């Protein structure tokens, strides 16, 4: 199978996709509600030492709220103590009980203090400005209680009184929080200090992303992404263990394959909305997702059901490969992602992820007793591994280069390790050199840094993994995070995505994976479980 | 009964008020829905010759809308052809069917073209700015159809695209209009030209105010006012004849009497909202409302039920009277209205309205066969009429003066006629002098000008009444009105209420009364009915 032909016969039929959608629907979770009250009224302060230059200080207990009177032009900020996802409820009245005209309010729900300073006219982003959690609401009849219809992800809520017939009173403001899970899981007893904080913060991050599907971030995107799901499923397996929700997501993704049978990068729960976002390196993670799901919960049926689709993802990826230079062919309509790093040459990492996919497929074939398939995948794996080593390893420094410029990046070295293109010894060397080499294209992305943690472990560098968790994820906590952020640059600048800092999500599921490592280390230390190799080995 | 004592025994009990509220509920109308589509896409133009300096011109057929593509920063205006009240429905999609983020829109519903230029930051009004029909809405999922939850009164709709993930398409924008009545009534066949236009415009105005109660204006206030109801009931009697809705409003008002038994100036349909607005001259109209309702539909039971409450309104008003100077006593918590004219001295008009009330009460007593009551009211009437004539008629010019400054106003002369303080001959003279006298405090208010029409008829000045209808109400139509406005100054300036022109209602029920006169004149000309005297005569 050097150049296997695409097997269009394995493109799922419309009837098959509809059946998958229906199965996903039967797995829809009942959301758990918990009413959260504000802890304090706060004010925002400019502070050059604070993360993003703004922090909040408490100015009154939240219990003071019903005693305050508000007029047009007034505003206040509530702190709900920690990040949550949910719906706001306001019990309001006009002092004196007479409301002769509507009330007009502006709300700004904020994950981080700096978001409280948002002004719509300064927005520069390339994604829809509607992601910013700013809302204008009119209330026609008071006294009464209203529940805002849209969902927010936040810790802080700013309220601006834009118009009121008379003095306005908020008797109660509550946050009806929702998640597929309720309580945070128990923290491993051996964890303490910053590791305990990291574990809790990761669990809170995942909780707030576990809604009616695994979302990437509950503030922005708010939907199921295949790459994020793969990491969320890993953490879920050692924390909440809601395997039903993982399976719902697998069915939702499968229901949204394109006309070639490629799994989408993301899927919408509303069947009226069809994604057009396809990330081949995400689709290549599907075999690993199935394998880890089976390992965690033992559901062999779902692996059998989706094995052909998993194989098909690798088959589809072959159309992007070319042997001569190990560069990607042009692929209009597809987005090669790997990482957000600007200017990243992705070819080598993509080839490595293809190899990673083949290793997982071989393991799935072994599990399902398809020895011919297993042999075929291993044959294909060895063929491309040799090519890639010959074409992209720099004989001078032993590092993987990528693209026409021969770029050296963290992404290439990390996936070089995880794909097995590097031997562990070569990998250990490349990961060390990459730290030292100034020209290395670096990431500020917890998604890639999760794979760096895995790569360290493959190379036997557990201490480096522990240090990375402390430096990078611990770094966010030392800056005030109570959920982990979508992007983070520990050098002190706040990375911008999509052209505006207000678009960046401060609770992003792909950042929660230290929980996975901390839990597994705890279990291994306690003699409860061996720490499995994150990727199948190739004989 | 020179100084009758207040009879607190006739203050309705809480149980009585609740029973009235329940009766009102049984009379709640089923609202009629009619889907109205836009007629054209228009642009607004500054034009010093247009009313309020802004007019619109059509730029495309509304059928073009689905072919247009909109991006952030775009806006457009739809003209729905005529004024309506209802709910907007938007069927939207993202071109290419992919919506990866919410859409953010601003809507501005406008009764008149100048409202389309509204900018929130320039608002100066004293009432809640939330009355302005500006709305910010976010839509999370497209394609789809949304129905805005709040009700609007407008002819025009401006849409601003604030944020969209991609090119936005409006496949359909519809106005789900509501009113207690459906079709406009037949126009009297003898009407033509501007009179026909005035009749139609008045009927449209009343239709849009006939919701689950008779509202004053469907844009601002949006509630039942006693003074407005009196005029609406008059027009309803010769057009829609929805006497059930009049009765619902009588019960709603009665259910909201204050602790002294005074009828409120306005009432809310939501029983959780208690008005604190009491206008004694509105309460004094209650006997006339009952009498005209009986005359129009013959329901004697409701007149019997509310006769004691009607009497009580006049009894309560006695506390504001004093014989020596015919000035009003201080009455904290009460609003003497009569008219909006700035600086108006209201004493004399208020005394006259008290006398008007006594004449109507005497007629009610005669109808219900209470001869002692009738005599008592007529005795009281004659007593105060003589006092008022002696104290306030200027022997020099034969006009009624008012207040400590002896002010001459339209309001005093008009109510002097309607109360019978003037004989018809004296009244004819006073109405003529008032036109000529420069110092006269004039109105810009259709509410008072309705009573001027009535006063002209009492004095046998039908031609003047016809001319006033043509000049004043016809004047609005010549300026583009398709419903009659809350205030209008035919001299060319746009009157401002409550500190900002954007608060003024352009569809206000108290302006619809020319229909009443035009219909009655038509009937009289056709020999169908005699034109009754608007007020009972005193023997």
A166-201 pLDDT, tens digit per residue, is: 899 999 999 999 999 989 999 999 999 999 999 999
Distance of alpha carbon B454 from alpha carbon B292, whole angstroms: 14
Nearest CA in chain B to A71: B128
Please report which confidence band the pLDDT of residue A1 belongs to, taking 50, 70 and 90 as the band edges: very low
Entry field: residues in chain B: 539
- Indicate yes or no: CB of A144 within 8 angstroms of CB of B276: no
Please report which confidence band the pLDDT of residue B492 belongs to, taking 50, 70 and 90 as the band edges: confident
Are A419 and A392 spatial neighbours (Cβ–Cβ below 8 Å)? no
- Name A321's Cβ contacts closer than 8 Å, sequence gap at least 6: A328, A329, A351, A354, A384
Please report which confidence band the pLDDT of residue B4 belongs to, taking 50, 70 and 90 as the band edges: very low
For A459-488, what is each residue's pLDDT tens digit? Answer: 999 999 999 999 999 999 999 999 999 999
Nearest CA in chain B to A269: B141
Q: Is residue B439 part of a domain?
A: yes
The answer on A315 and A389 residing in a single domain is yes
The gap from C-alpha A510 to its chain's centroid, in whole angstroms, comes to 3
Percent of chain A with pLDDT over 90: 88
Please report which confidence band the pLDDT of residue A441 belongs to, taking 50, 70 and 90 as the band edges: very high
Mean pLDDT of chain B: 94
- Indicate yes or no: CB of A135 within 8 angstroms of CB of B136: yes
- Which of B120, B146, B179 lies at the terminal end of a domain, its last residue? B179
Q: Check pLDDT > 70 for residue A18.
A: yes
Average pLDDT over residues A301-316: 96
Those of residues 354-413 in B touching chain A at CB distance below 8 A are none
Nearest by CB to B165, which of A104, A127, A163? A127
Residue with token string 């999500």: A505
Q: Is residue B388 part of a domain?
A: yes
- Name B445's Cβ contacts closer than 8 Å, sequence gap at least 6: B339, B340, B341, B487
The answer on A388 and A294 residing in a single domain is yes
Q: Is residue A538 part of a domain?
A: no
Residue B386 CB coordination number (10 Å): 11
Q: Could you tell me which of B204, B154, B203, B147 has the C-alpha nearest to residue B176?
A: B147
Mean pLDDT of chain A: 94
The answer on B117 and B252 residing in a single domain is no
- Indicate yes or no: CB of B272 within 8 angstroms of CB of A131: no
- Indicate yes or no: CB of A136 within 8 angstroms of CB of B131: no
Which residue out of B73, B87, B92, B101 would a mutagenesis test of the A interface target, given it has the greatest number of A Cβ atoms within 10 Å?
A: B101
Q: Is residue B23 part of a domain?
A: yes
Tell me, what CATH number does B75's domain have? 2.60.120.260
- Indicate yes or no: CB of A127 within 8 angstroms of CB of B275: no
Q: Is residue A444 part of a domain?
A: yes
The answer on A490 and A379 residing in a single domain is yes
Please report which confidence band the pLDDT of residue B9 belongs to, taking 50, 70 and 90 as the band edges: low
- Rounded to a whole number of angstroms, the distance from the CA of B280 to the nearest CA of chain A is 19
- Indicate yes or no: CB of B103 within 8 angstroms of CB of A142: no
Are A445 and A454 spatial neighbours (Cβ–Cβ below 8 Å)? no
For B31-45, what is each residue's pLDDT tens digit? Answer: 999 999 999 999 999
- Which of B122, B144, B179 lies at the terminal end of a domain, its last residue? B179
Those of residues 131-190 in A touching chain B at CB distance below 8 A are 131, 135-136, 138, 140-144, 150, 162-165
Residue with token string 């300064």: A122
How many structural domains compose chain B? 2
Distance of alpha carbon A358 from alpha carbon A371, whole angstroms: 14
Sign of the torsion angle spanned by Cα atoms B520, B524, B529, B535: positive
Nearest by CB to A150, which of B98, B130, B138? B138
Nearest CA in chain A to B94: A273
pLDDT (0 to 100) of residue B525: 87
Q: Is residue A536 part of a domain?
A: no
The answer on B48 and B25 residing in a single domain is no
Nearest by CB to A101, which of B99, B130, B135? B130
Are A162 and A107 spatial neighbours (Cβ–Cβ below 8 Å)? no
Are A402 and A346 spatial neighbours (Cβ–Cβ below 8 Å)? yes
Nearest CA in chain A to B139: A130
Residue A538 CB coordination number (10 Å): 16
For B212-260, what is each residue's pLDDT tens digit? Answer: 999 999 999 999 999 999 999 999 999 999 999 999 999 999 999 999 9
Which residue out of A71, A99, A101, A211 would a mutagenesis test of the B interface target, given it has the greatest number of B Cβ atoms within 10 Å?
A: A101
Say which DSSP state B122 is in.
G
- Burial (0-12, 13-18, 19+ Cβ within 10 Å), B319: middle
How crowded is the C-beta side of B278, counted as CA atoms within 13 Å? Answer: 19
pLDDT (0 to 100) of residue A525: 87
Average pLDDT over residues A265-290: 93
Q: Check pLDDT > 50 for residue B315.
A: yes
Q: Which residues of B touch A135 (CB under 8 A)?
A: 136, 138
The answer on B365 and B226 residing in a single domain is yes
Are A71 and A167 spatial neighbours (Cβ–Cβ below 8 Å)? yes
Least confident range from A116-120, B447-451, B532-536: namely B532-536
pLDDT (0 to 100) of residue B532: 55
Pairing of strands B134-139, B103-110: antiparallel
- Rounded to a whole number of angstroms, the distance from the CA of A111 to the nearest CA of chain B is 18
Q: Is residue A187 part of a domain?
A: no
Residue with token string 């609401």: A137
Nearest CA in chain B to A223: B100
Residue with token string 């029920």: B509
The answer on B396 and B302 residing in a single domain is yes
Q: Is residue A191 part of a domain?
A: no
For B431-473, what is each residue's pLDDT tens digit? Answer: 999 999 999 999 999 999 999 999 999 999 999 999 999 999 9
Residue A368 CB coordination number (10 Å): 15
- Indicate yes or no: CB of B141 within 8 angstroms of CB of A273: yes
Q: What are B60's strand-pairing partners?
A: B41
Nearest by CB to A129, which of B104, B127, B130? B104
Phi, psi values for residue B208, rounded to 5° = -70, -15
The answer on A383 and A249 residing in a single domain is yes
Q: Check pLDDT > 90 for residue B109.
A: yes
Nearest by CB to A98, which of B97, B165, B276? B276
The answer on A161 and A206 residing in a single domain is no
pLDDT (0 to 100) of residue A531: 55
Average pLDDT over residues B101-124: 96
* Helix H or strand E encompassing A233: helix A226-238
Are B430 and B494 spatial neighbours (Cβ–Cβ below 8 Å)? no
Percent of chain B with pLDDT over 70: 96
Q: What are B402's strand-pairing partners?
A: B407
- Burial (0-12, 13-18, 19+ Cβ within 10 Å), A149: exposed
Strands (E), B340-429: none
Look up the pTM and report it: 0.93
Residue B281 CB coordination number (10 Å): 25
Q: Check pLDDT > 90 for residue B491.
A: no
pLDDT (0 to 100) of residue A97: 61
pLDDT (0 to 100) of residue A8: 46
The answer on A256 and A211 residing in a single domain is yes
- Indicate yes or no: CB of A141 within 8 angstroms of CB of B270: yes
Are B180 and B212 spatial neighbours (Cβ–Cβ below 8 Å)? yes
CB contacts < 8 A, A to B, total 105
Least confident range from A135-144, B55-64, B505-514: namely A135-144
The answer on B200 and B328 residing in a single domain is yes
Q: Check pLDDT > 70 for residue B7.
A: no
Tell me, what CATH number does B397's domain have? 1.50.10.10
Distance of alpha carbon A29 from alpha carbon A178, whole angstroms: 11
- Rounded to a whole number of angstroms, the distance from the CA of A185 to the nearest CA of chain B is 31
The answer on B204 and B138 residing in a single domain is no
Which residue out of B118, B267, B273 would a mutagenesis test of the A interface target, given it has the greatest number of A Cβ atoms within 10 Å?
A: B273
Nearest CA in chain A to B220: A101
Residue with token string 């306690």: A526
- Which of B116, B149, B179 lies at the terminal end of a domain, its last residue? B179
Distance of alpha carbon A104 from alpha carbon A266, whole angstroms: 37
pLDDT (0 to 100) of residue B538: 60
pLDDT (0 to 100) of residue A528: 74
For B354-382, what is each residue's pLDDT tens digit? Answer: 999 999 999 999 999 999 999 999 999 99
Q: Check pLDDT > 80 for residue A432.
A: yes
Which domain range does residue B75 map to? 32-179
Those of residues 264-283 in A touching chain B at CB distance below 8 A are 268, 270, 272-277
């Amino acid at each position: 199978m050097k150049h296997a032909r695409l097997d269009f016969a394995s493109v799922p039929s419309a009837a098959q996709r509809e059946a998958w959608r229906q199965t996903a629907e039967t797995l829809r979770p009942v959301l758990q509600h918990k009413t959260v009250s504000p802890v304090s009224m706060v004010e925002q302060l400019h502070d050059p030492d604070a993360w993003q230059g703004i922090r909040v200080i408490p100015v009154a207990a939240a219990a003071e709220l019903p005693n305050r009177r508000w007029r047009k032009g007034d505003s206040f900020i509530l702190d709900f103590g920690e990040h949550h996802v949910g719906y706001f409820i306001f019990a309001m009245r006009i002092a004196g009980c007479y409301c002769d005209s509507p009330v007009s309010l502006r709300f700004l729900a904020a994950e981080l203090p700096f978001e409280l300073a948002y002004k719509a006219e300064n927005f520069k982003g390339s994604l829809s400005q509607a992601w910013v959690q700013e809302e204008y609401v009119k209330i026609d009849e008071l006294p009464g209680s209203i529940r805002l219809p849209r969902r927010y992800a936040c810790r802080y809520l700013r309220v601006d009184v834009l118009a009121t017939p008379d003095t306005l009173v908020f008797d109660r403001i509550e946050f009806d929080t929702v998640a597929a899970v309720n309580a945070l899981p128990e923290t491993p007893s051996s964890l303490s200090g910053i590791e305990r904080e990291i574990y809790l913060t990761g669990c809170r991050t995942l909780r707030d992303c576990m809604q009616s599907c695994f979302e990437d971030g509950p503030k922005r995107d708010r939907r199921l992404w295949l790459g994020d799901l793969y990491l969320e499923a890993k953490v879920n397996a050692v924390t909440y263990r809601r395997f039903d929700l993982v399976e719902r997501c697998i069915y939702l993704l499968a229901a949204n394959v394109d006309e070639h049978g490629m799994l989408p990068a993301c899927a919408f729960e509303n069947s009226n909305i069809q994604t057009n976002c396809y990330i081949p390196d995400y689709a290549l993670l599907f075999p690993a997702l199935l394998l880890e799901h089976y390992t965690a919960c033992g559901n062999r049926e779902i692996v059998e059901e989706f094995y052909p689709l998993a194989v098909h993802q690798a088959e589809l990826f072959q159309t992007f490969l070319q042997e001569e230079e190990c560069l990607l062919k042009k692929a209009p309509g597809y987005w090669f992602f790997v990482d957000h790093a600007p200017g990243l040459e992705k070819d080598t990492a993509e080839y490595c992820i293809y190899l990673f996919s083949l290793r997982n497929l071989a393991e799935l074939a072994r599990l399902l007793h398809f020895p011919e398939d297993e042999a075929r995948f291993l044959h294909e794996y060895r063929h491309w591994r040799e090519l890639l080593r010959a074409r992209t390893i720099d004989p001078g420094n032993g590092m993987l280069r990528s693209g026409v410029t021969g770029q050296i990046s963290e992404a290439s070295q990390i996936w070089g390790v995880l794909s097995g293109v590097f031997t562990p010894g070569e990998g250990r060397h490349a990961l060390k050199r990459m730290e030292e080499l100034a020209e290395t294209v670096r990431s500020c992305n917890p998604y890639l840094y999760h794979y760096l943690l895995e790569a360290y472990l493959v190379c036997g560098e557990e201490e480096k993994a522990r240090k990375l968790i402390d430096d990078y994820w611990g770094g966010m906590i030392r800056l005030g995070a109570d959920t982990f952020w979508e992007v983070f640059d520990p050098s002190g600048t706040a990375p911008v995505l999509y052209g505006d800092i207000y678009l960046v999500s401060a609770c992003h599921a792909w950042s929660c994976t230290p929980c996975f490592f901390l839990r597994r280390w705890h279990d291994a230390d306690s003699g409860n479980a061996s720490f499995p190799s994150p990727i199948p080995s190739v004989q």
